[in-house]
């Protein structure tokens, strides 16, 4: 799959997820087979105003590429400035968030709210496209509410304005994550569009990711929530493509991944933010292990890194003794 000047040999992509797809998590999934990864969504206003917490989301390192930086906002001029800043920060691809249905984002006129006014959104896309030579993508939903065919209009506008690829989550904004993603929309867009079409929504296994890509004919698959549950899904897709069964990680694999992830978190976070990130890590990489429910309850109560490390060591030692 080619997005602008970038050839993506493995078109299974880590989706942008606020609060999750930070630099440590991206490094983890890259180690586990992911090629193209997206940042958390980045406020264009915060970026242009040089707000430190917003700028921190852009942090990257040489091994964190190819990288798509996702921007959200509603002001064309601000979005254009933010695209330039994202490019200076190391973006390989710029993505415009037109699918987030969280109230706070929609209230600002950003995210999925852009689907309500195609003409205004056309101006925003044009401004960003004019501002940057980097490959540009947009991530949309089917429309604001059921029955609308906004995805058809928006896809055509994007293609006409020089957008390099389209990501579609085939749910309506008012649905949030309820109901089921309608992948027939992905099939339809692939038949209509000349630019790459990437499908997203309800991927819950490596086999399903491969099946939906084959059934719809889409160019790529974006994986979100399942990558949080099983970050190794990318390696499993590669294993199936190579003709073998998907390998389940063993206890030692998870322990080693946790230790690497722990190091990256220590390097990138301080204070309460570090504790929060470590808790999240322990929640994700112990899901499905024996007695993990009790372990995660203890993790939720821990207040220091030292306590978290003790819980981690004791838990994995206890699991090793069962083998």
Of the candidates 187, 131, 197, 133, which has an alpha carbon nearest to the alpha carbon of residue 159? 197
pLDDT of residue 287: 82
Structure tokens at 75: 């002001």
Of the candidates 180, 41, 26, 177, which has an alpha carbon nearest to the alpha carbon of residue 98? 41
Give percent of the chain with pLDDT exceeding 70: 100
- Do 7 and 35 touch, CB atoms closer than 8 A? no
Of the candidates 244, 184, 195, 234, which has an alpha carbon nearest to the alpha carbon of residue 9? 234
* pLDDT tops 70 at residue 85: yes
- Mean pLDDT for 285-313 is 91
Is 100 assigned a catalytic role? yes
Confidence at 46, pLDDT banded by 50, 70, 90: very high
Structure confidence by residue, pLDDT tens digits, 177-226? 888 999 999 999 999 999 999 999 999 999 999 999 999 999 999 999 99
Q: What pTM, to 2 d.p., does this model score?
A: 0.93
* pLDDT tops 70 at residue 175: yes
Cα–Cα distance, 134 to 83 (Å, whole number): 9
* pLDDT tops 80 at residue 323: no
- Do 255 and 286 touch, CB atoms closer than 8 A? no
Instruction: Please state at what angle helix 305-322 crosses helix 251-268, rounded to 10 degrees.
Output: 170
Cα–Cα distance, 216 to 195 (Å, whole number): 15
CATH level 3 topology of 2-241:
TIM Barrel (3.20.20)
- Mean pLDDT for 260-268 is 92
């Amino acid at each position: 799959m080619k997005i602008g000047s970038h050839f993506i040999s493995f078109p299974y992509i880590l989706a942008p997820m606020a609060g999750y797809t930070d630099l440590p998590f991206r490094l983890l999934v890259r180690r586990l087979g992911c090629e193209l990864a997206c940042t958390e969504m980045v406020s264009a206003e915060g970026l242009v105003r040089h707000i430190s917490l917003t700028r921190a989301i852009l942090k990257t390192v040489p091994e964190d590429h190819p990288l798509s930086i996702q921007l959200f906002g509603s002001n064309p001029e601000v979005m254009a400035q933010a695209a330039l800043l994202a490019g200076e920060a190391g973006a390989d691809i710029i993505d415009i968030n037109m699918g987030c249905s969280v109230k706070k984002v929609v209230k600002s006129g950003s995210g999925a709210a852009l689907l309500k006014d195609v003409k205004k959104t056309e101006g925003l896309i044009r401004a960003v496209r004019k501002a940057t030579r980097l490959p540009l993508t947009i991530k949309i939903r089917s429309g604001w509410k059921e029955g609308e065919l906004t995805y058809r209009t928006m896809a055509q506008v994007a293609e006409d304005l020089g957008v390099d690829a389209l990501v579609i989550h085939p749910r309506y904004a008012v649905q949030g994550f309820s109901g089921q993603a309608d992948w027939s929309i992905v099939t339809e867009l692939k038949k209509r569009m000349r630019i790459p079409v990437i499908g997203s929504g309800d991927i819950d296994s490596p086999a399903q990711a491969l099946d939906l890509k084959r059934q719809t004919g889409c160019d790529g698959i974006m994986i979100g929530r399942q990558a949080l549950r099983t970050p190794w899904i990318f390696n499993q897709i590669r294993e199936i493509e190579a003709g073998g069964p998907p390998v389940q990680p063993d206890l030692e694999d998870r322990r080693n991944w946790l230790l690497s992830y722990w190091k990256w978190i220590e390097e990138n976070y301080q204070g309460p933010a570090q504790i929060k990130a470590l808790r999240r890590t322990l929640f994700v990489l112990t899901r499905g292990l024996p007695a993990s429910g009790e372990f995660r309850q203890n993790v939720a109560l821990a207040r220091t890194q030292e306590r978290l490390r003790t819980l981690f060591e004791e838990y994995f030692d206890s699991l090793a003794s069962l083998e």
